[in-house]
Amino acid sequence: MLGYIGLELRRTVRDGGYMVIAITLPVAMYLIFSSLGLIDEDGGLYMLVAMAAFGASGAAFNNGSGVAEDAAVGWLRQLRVTPLGPVQVVVSRAVVGMLVVLPAVVAVLTVGGLVKGVELAPWQWLSIGTLLWLGVAPIVLFALGNGFLLSGKAAPLANSVLNLALAILGGLWLPTSDFPGWMATLASWTPTNRYAELSWDIVLGGSPSAMAFAVLGGWLVIFCGYAVFGYRRARLS
């Protein structure tokens, strides 16, 4: 299983073009949004978390799409005739997903601290770093399920659209406080919104709500089942 995780990690890291975009896009968007005149200090903190979350979510969805491409070339079928079991394949791929989100999170937070001069207590940096990393797990599993169930062409498309839709609806581009009432309610049920909310609460001087953990935990369970179901039903060629 470790060998498989290592192999998939190397494949992602070696995709130089992808790595540059995956890191540059959220950093650039953070720099642009946080430098707009109408953004105050809290707005800057909001954008720091939002863009780190957006970068992580993008990497998670990309990891899921990679699985569909593996299925298309017959790699998943090859894995199925090795001793690696379904749960091990899903877990390995989820671990890979959890690791490939890290560069974007680290890059945005580093740029925030070093370039934009964001000042947070060490425990705050540590907390948001951890939460922005681990909180992305439901999204990693959701993207994996899509990758297993959809074709090599459909999965990247679906995952890109979902990435944007969940980012916008989850308030990663514009705060949900600017949304009409019904949309704000809907937003509060998205995994992206609750995922970022954990860290927003910390940087804006509070602590994460139990509700945020509950909603995110619910999605984690659902998408975990979805990913395993997806692998069992996966298109093998």
Residues in touch with other proteins (CB under 8 A)? 1-4, 6-7, 10-11, 14-15, 70, 73-75, 77-78, 80-85, 236-237
Residue 207 CA, chain-centre distance (Å), reads 21
Nearer to other proteins, 4 or 200 (CB): 4
Which is nearer to other proteins, 13 or 221 (by Cβ)? 13
DSSP state of 101: T
How far does CA 33 lie from the centroid of its chain? 20
Residue 150, helix vs strand vs coil? coil
Q: How far is the CB of 2 from other proteins (least distance, A)?
A: 7
- Cβ(138)–Cβ(190) below 8 Å: no
Q: If you search the block for the tokens 């809907």, which residue do you land on?
A: 186
Cβ proximity to other proteins, 96 vs 131, nearer residue: 96
Torsion of CA 191, 175, 55, 234, to 10 degrees: 30
To other proteins, the closest distance from the beta carbon of 65 in angstroms equals 13
Which residue type, as a one-letter code, is found at position 107? Answer: A
Angle between helices 137-149 and 191-203 (to 10 degrees): 160
Minimum CB distance to other proteins, residue 119 (Å): 40
Give min distance, CB of 153 to other proteins, in A. Answer: 15
Q: Is 40 exposed, middle or buried (0-12, 13-18, 19+ CB in 10 A)?
A: exposed
Q: For residues 19 and 25, which CB has a smaller minimum distance to other proteins in the complex?
A: 19
CB of 79 to other proteins, least distance (A): 8
| Nearer CB in complex with other proteins: 1/174 | 1
